[in-house]
């Protein structure tokens, strides 16, 4: 799809009616820890076993950090790009599922290659880079080398805070004007690195910045129906809001499905670290929209408001992220309906989006879309899809083990139902 065609069609979506989950469904009481049906458990176990077998076969030939596939083979970044944390994170998930120390050794070796990025002040993605790799490594090994490196990364991340607008700048080196006032919904997923830093050091500064950014995001991103844009711009000099935009979504008025999923997961996590009910309410608004926008097959299209949805290309990575966020939200809110949708999402991914049909595929999850407007990575595999699929399955099958890796505790340290 060319940009000119996209611009022509934008007007057809700007006023599109939003789909949303019914309030009754969202509020339906159910035990968040209720055991899933045995068939669901079998499907998820089988998917986890398939994922681990695929990772075991692929890992010895991995020469960098997977960023996506080309002709079903991983393409690598040597410095990690923004996705470098997901390969060691996936290896950690495989270790939790199997106890095979080969995965543990591979996870540690891969994470160590990210060490130069601790001092990178040119990106907001330090949470994506260091939380599933170095923070997880510290939690699972107790080796303070990993904690120290994660704290250095948090120090780099807070240099991107704009106190006038109370936000973390997403893109661009700090000494460049381009994108200086640009905020993206993805940043919500980087805030937990700051919560970790405050918890480990006792310095409230990190969490204060995370909370300030979260409050700004919850003020400007959600629309009345709970959908969100990908981007919001501010005047970097005054902090004045300028308005929504998009890069990976269909339009500023659309709902890029992966961004919607980042928002659900990110606001839920920030609620867990702070206990602020406003963050929980925001997570629920975003989740209700996403749940209502899912089609019958439960595999999200790349943008919930793209003109050809629900028959447009899919993004299974959005489904995996959303499933994790909904499981977390079910536990945080006590609303079992979110867990039920998450289980349907994970089952749909396991049954329709794995790479089982191809003997040459190196990834676990197919049917992902990286950047549809740029025609970049349409219906490929992506490393974060593999990571979040396994995280979601382990949230169901092995919650105690997963809690060791990513800390599922609720506000004020009170554990949540799994």
Residues comprising the chain, all counted: 418
In order, the DSSP letters of 148-169 are: HHHHHHHHHHHTTEETTTTEE-
Question: In terms of DSSP H, where are the helices of 159-304?
Answer: 191-201, 205-220, 257-274, 277-293
Conformational region of residue 331, where left means phi above 0, alpha means psi within -120 to 50, and beta covers everything else: alpha
Q: Let me know if 192 is a catalytic residue.
A: no
Q: Let me know if 186 is a catalytic residue.
A: yes
Catalytic residue among 46, 81, 101, 125: 125
State how far the Cα of 198 lies from the Cα of 188, in Å rounded to an integer.
17
Tokens of 53: 């077998």
CA distance to 147, 284, 366, per residue, from 92 (Å): 16, 29, 21
Tokens of 148: 């120290």
State how far the Cα of 154 lies from the Cα of 127, in Å rounded to an integer.
8
Tokens of 250: 């269909």
Taking 3-state DSSP, the helix, strand and coil percentages for the chain, each rounded to the nearest 5, stand at 55, 10, 35
State how far the Cα of 323 lies from the Cα of 321, in Å rounded to an integer.
5
Catalytic residue among 186, 303, 328, 386: 186
State how far the Cα of 123 lies from the Cα of 128, in Å rounded to an integer.
11
The catalytic site residues sit at 125, 186
């Amino acid at each position: 799809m060319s940009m000119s065609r996209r611009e022509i069609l934008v007007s057809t979506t700007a006023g599109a009616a939003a789909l949303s989950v019914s309030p009754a469904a969202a509020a339906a009481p159910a035990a968040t820890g209720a055991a899933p049906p045995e068939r669901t458990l079998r499907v998820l176990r089988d998917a986890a076993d398939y994922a681990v077998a695929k990772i075991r076969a692929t890992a010895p030939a991995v020469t960098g950090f997977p960023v996506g596939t080309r002709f079903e083979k991983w393409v690598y970044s040597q410095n990690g790009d923004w996705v470098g944390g997901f390969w060691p994170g996936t290896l950690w998930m495989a270790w939790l599922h199997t106890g095979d120390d080969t995965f543990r050794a591979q996870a540690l070796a891969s994470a160590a290659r990210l060490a130069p990025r601790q001092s990178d002040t040119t990106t907001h993605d330090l949470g994506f880079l260091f939380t599933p790799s170095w923070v997880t490594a510290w939690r699972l090994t107790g080796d303070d080398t990993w904690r120290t490196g994660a704290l250095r990364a948090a120090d780099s991340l807070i240099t991107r805070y704009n106190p006038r607008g109370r936000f973390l700048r997403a893109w661009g080196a700090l000494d460049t004007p381009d994108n200086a006032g640009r905020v993206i919904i993805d940043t919500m997923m980087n805030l937990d690195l700051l919560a970790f830093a405050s918890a480990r050091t006792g310095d409230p500064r990190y969490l204060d910045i995370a909370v300030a950014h979260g409050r700004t995001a919850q003020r400007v991103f959600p629309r009345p129906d709970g959908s969100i844009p990908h981007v919001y711009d501010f005047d970097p000099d005054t902090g004045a809001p300028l308005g929504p935009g998009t890069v990976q979504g269909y339009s500023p008025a659309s709902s890029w499905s992966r961004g919607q999923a980042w928002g659900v997961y990110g606001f839920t996590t920030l609620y867990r670290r702070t206990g602020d009910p406003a963050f929980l309410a925001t997570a629920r608004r975003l989740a209700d929209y996403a749940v209502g926008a899912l089609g019958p097959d439960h595999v999200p299209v790349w943008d919930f408001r793209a003109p050809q949805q629900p028959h447009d290309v899919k993004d299974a990575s959005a489904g995996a992220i959303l499933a994790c966020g909904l499981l977390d939200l079910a536990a945080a809110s006590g609303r079992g309906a979110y867990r039920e949708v998450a289980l349907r999402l994970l089952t749909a991914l396991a049954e329709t989006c794995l790479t089982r049909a191809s003997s040459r595929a190196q990834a676990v999850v197919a049917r992902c879309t990286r950047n549809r407007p740029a025609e970049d990575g349409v219906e490929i595999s992506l490393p974060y899809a593999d990571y979040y699929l396994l995280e979601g399955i382990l949230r169901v099958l092995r919650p105690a083990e997963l809690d060791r890796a990513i800390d599922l505790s609720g506000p004020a340290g009170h554990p949540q139902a799994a």
